[in-house]
């Protein structure tokens, strides 16, 4: 990085040692001034030198009350050594810890004049005010019932204090029922007042915010969401996720960890991660949007069963996973898909989507070019049914992962090389196989082996796909019989063969009421306060 001229630079004190502190437009640095190179200290001391990018400074302020005793102690010590240092300022900044976790660290510098201290605070604040991507005002929704029911406490104890420190104004709504946040965003919220929306909860709560924002944006622009080919309008508001749910895969896969303070810091520094969204339709009616896992068969049955065990908290998924695994159902149907261009890679190419991902950026550039394409040419492309592939068979599971879906349970994710913003989703087809083979496939999610390297697994990177069960589901026929114990439903009571049973879809952890669906990836429809997974330093 090119060295920039200092805006201010002074000799200050840090922990009773003299340091040279300098601030440029890009970076704040401090370096210890060693008295004499030959003098070796009796007790070895840690090196105080450090550099913090200005974009990662949370705030600069006078030391808070709790810092005062420490400051007074320092003053007393310095007085005794006839060096009186009464003024101080604290810089709070992002510190990277292990496994993508961020912490808010403080460093307090002592100055020998009030004027110098105030000058440092003013110059630093001026630089922070130039960072226009930072939110000043946020609308926060808390789900008090998600995960281990700790959403409210997590927000109040871990997140609100850092937002306060960064000078962010917040309006907080603790939801009182399911869909409260979605309905409020869709109809009431004055979004002009805020620079973003924060969701405190799990993937289900995120899904509410997603639906509220996307539905509102389409309505404001007169877009008919029921048309599967409608060109959707991207949402302007960015979404921040404070993880307080059971899986938290949307947070984990976009930030690298499910830690509330890390997420709060990504919001404060104003990160921006565009993200693809899948739209799900049944015939010509809109059903839902999805950003993580759309799963039919194994994951659909697992989720339907786990909903009855909500009281168990996150452990419900393990119990239902175990049960669903031993049911070993399979489902007959047809999958049609439109493969993505080769330029976006392949689910097995081991090219993980990282911060500033080239594949996602390349895709955005080609989208811009595509917009300039003459209308006739575009029409011709749309009209042809060319390029669609068909797979008919018996499936244990049909999964679509629009992102890696990495989460604490499965850190490499359901599709480790899926991209956050490339306009595609990874379609994973698990065909009928023995229970042992299915276990082998599942187990590979927990180690380094390729979970797609099995004869009964097919994986494709696609832009669109359709699924049609062999027999229409009750909902597809507008008929609602009782569910069977293990999850599958039978459209015809005479049919009691598992291969003809119908499952349901899980859509980011919410059950879909249709089995026959059309899915289309909406390129970069939303933006998050995140930056993707950073390379480990
Ligand atoms: C043998 C060990 C197998 C481990 C296999 C792990 C695969 C995990 C894939 C996880 C994909 C997660 C996709 C995320 C979906 C979420 O959007 C969604 C909603 O999240 P929320 O609750 O925060 O609102 N969450 C979910 O759908 C939960 C998925 C949970 C999957 C758990 C799978 C457990 C499988 C256990 C099999 C046990 C076999 C035992 C054989 C002796
Ligand atoms: N106040 C509330 N009471 C009951 N359910 C709620 C409330 N607020 C949100 N929900 C619903 O709770 C469900 C689970 O939320 P989520 O935060 O994803 O937790 P989890 O990860 O444990 O599933 C979502 O379907 C959401 O719509
Ligand atoms: Ca994608």
Residues 4-22: tens digit of each pLDDT: 788 999 999 998 889 999 9
CA distance 486 to 137: 47
User: Which residues make Cβ contacts (< 8 Å) with residue 343, sequence separation at least 6?
Assistant: 359, 362, 363, 366
Residues 392, 470 share a domain: yes
C-beta 509 within 6 A of ligand 2 = yes
Task: Share the mean pLDDT of the chain.
Answer: 88
DSSP label at 126?
H
**Pocket lined around ligand 1, Cβ cut-off 6 Å:** 202-204, 245-249, 292-293, 299, 303, 317-318, 321-322, 325, 405, 407, 409-410, 414, 439, 442-443, 445-446, 506, 508-509
What is the domain extent for residue 121?
8-129
User: Given this model, what pLDDT does residue 485 score?
Assistant: 41
Nearest by Cα to 141 from 56, 228, 208: 208
Which residue stretches of the chain have pLDDT < 50?
65-74, 76-85, 374-382, 479-485, 487, 491-500
Kindly indicate whether the ipTM for this predicted assembly is greater than 0.85, answering yes or no: yes
- Please spell the DSSP secondary structure of 495-517, one letter per residue: ---GGG-B--EEETTEE-S-SSE
Tell how far the Cα of 417 is from the centroid of ligand 3, in angstroms.
Answer: 10
Count CB neighbours of 80 within 10 A. Answer: 9
Q: Give backbone dihedrals phi and psi of 179, rounded to 5 degrees, phi first.
A: 70, 5
User: Given this model, what pLDDT does residue 380 score?
Assistant: 43
Residues 140, 96 share a domain: no
CA distance 422 to 257: 22
Residues 53, 190 share a domain: no
Residues 430, 418 share a domain: yes
User: Given this model, what pLDDT does residue 248 score?
Assistant: 95
**Pocket-testing residue among 142, 144, 145, ligand 2, by greatest number of atoms within 8 A of Cβ:** 145
**Pocket-testing residue among 178, 212, 292, ligand 2, by greatest number of atoms within 8 A of Cβ:** 178
In a domain, 429, yes or no: yes
In a domain, 160, yes or no: yes
Residues 112, 47 share a domain: yes
In a domain, 81, yes or no: yes
- Please spell the DSSP secondary structure of 257-295, one letter per residue: S--HHHHHHHHHTT--EEEEEEEEEETTEEEEEESSEEE
Q: How far is CA 137 from CA 166, 195, 237, in A?
A: 11, 6, 11
Tell how far the Cα of 317 is from the centroid of ligand 1, in angstroms.
Answer: 6
Residues 214, 117 share a domain: no
Q: Which residues are catalytic?
A: 203
Tell how far the Cα of 196 is from the centroid of ligand 3, in angstroms.
Answer: 22
Model pLDDT for residues 459-503, shown as the tens digit of each residue: 999 999 999 998 777 677 654 433 444 545 554 444 444 444 889
In a domain, 72, yes or no: yes
Residues 311, 209 share a domain: no
User: Given this model, what pLDDT does residue 437 score?
Assistant: 97
């Amino acid at each position: 990085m090119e060295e920039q001229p200092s805006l201010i630079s002074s000799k200050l004190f840090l922990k009773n040692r003299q340091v040279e502190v300098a601030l440029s437009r890009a970076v704040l640095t401090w370096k210890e001034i060693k008295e004499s190179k030959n003098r070796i200290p009796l007790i070895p001391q840690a090196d105080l030198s450090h550099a913090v990018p200005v974009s990662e400074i949370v705030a600069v302020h006078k030391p808070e009350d709790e810092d005062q005793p420490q400051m007074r102690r320092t003053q007393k010590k310095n007085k005794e050594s006839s060096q009186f240092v009464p003024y101080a300022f604290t810089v709070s900044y992002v510190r990277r810890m292990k496994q993508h976790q961020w912490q808010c660290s403080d460093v307090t510098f002592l100055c020998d004049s009030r004027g110098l201290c105030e000058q440092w605070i003013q110059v630093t604040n001026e630089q922070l005010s130039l960072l226009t991507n930072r939110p000043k005002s946020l609308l926060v929704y808390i789900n008090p019932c998600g995960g281990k029911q700790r959403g409210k406490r997590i927000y109040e104890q871990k997140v609100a204090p850092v937002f306060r420190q960064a000078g962010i104004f917040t309006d907080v709504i603790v939801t009182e029922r399911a869909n409260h946040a979605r309905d409020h965003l869709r109809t009431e919220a004055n979004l002009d007042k805020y620079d973003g929306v924060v969701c405190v909860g799990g993937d289900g709560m995120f899904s509410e915010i997603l639906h509220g924002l996307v539905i509102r944006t389409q309505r404001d622009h007169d877009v008919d969401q029921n048309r599967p080919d409608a060109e959707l309008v991207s949402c302007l508001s960015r979404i921040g996720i404070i993880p307080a749910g059971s899986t938290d895969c949307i947070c984990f896969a976009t930030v690298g960890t499910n830690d509330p303070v890390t997420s709060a810091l990504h919001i404060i520094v104003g990160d921006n991660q565009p993200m693809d969204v899948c739209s799900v339709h049944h015939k010509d009616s809109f059903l839902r949007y999805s950003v993580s896992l759309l799963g039919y068969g194994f994951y659909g049955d697992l989720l339907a069963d786990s909903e009855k065990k909500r009281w168990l908290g996150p452990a419900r998924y393990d119990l239902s996973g175990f049960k669903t695994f031993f049911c070993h159902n399979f489902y007959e149907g047809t999958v049609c898909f439109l493969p993505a261009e080769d330029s976006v890679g392949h689910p097995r190419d081991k090219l993980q989507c990282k911060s500033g991902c080239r594949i996602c950026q390349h895709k955005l550039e080609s989208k811009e070019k595509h917009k300039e394409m003459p209308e006739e040419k575009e029409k011709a492309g749309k009209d042809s049914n060319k390029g669609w592939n068909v797979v008919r068979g018996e499936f244990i599971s049909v999964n679509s992962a629009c992102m890696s879906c990495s989460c604490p349970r499965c850190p490499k994710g359901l599709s480790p090389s899926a991209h956050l913003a490339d306009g595609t989703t990874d379609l994973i087809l698990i065909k009928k196989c023995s229970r042992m083979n299915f276990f082998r496939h599942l187990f590979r999610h927990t180690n380094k082996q390729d979970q797609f390297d099995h004869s009964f697994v097919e994986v494709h990177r696609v832009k669109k796909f359709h699924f049609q069960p062999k027999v229409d589901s009750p909902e597809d026929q507008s008929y609602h019989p009782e569910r069977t114990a293990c999850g599958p439903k039978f459209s015809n009571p005479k049919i009691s063969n598992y291969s003809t049973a119908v499952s349901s879809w899980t859509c980011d952890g919410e059950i879909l009421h249709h089995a026959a669906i059309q899915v289309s990836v909406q390129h970069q429809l939303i933006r998050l306060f995140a930056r993707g997974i950073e390379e480990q330093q």
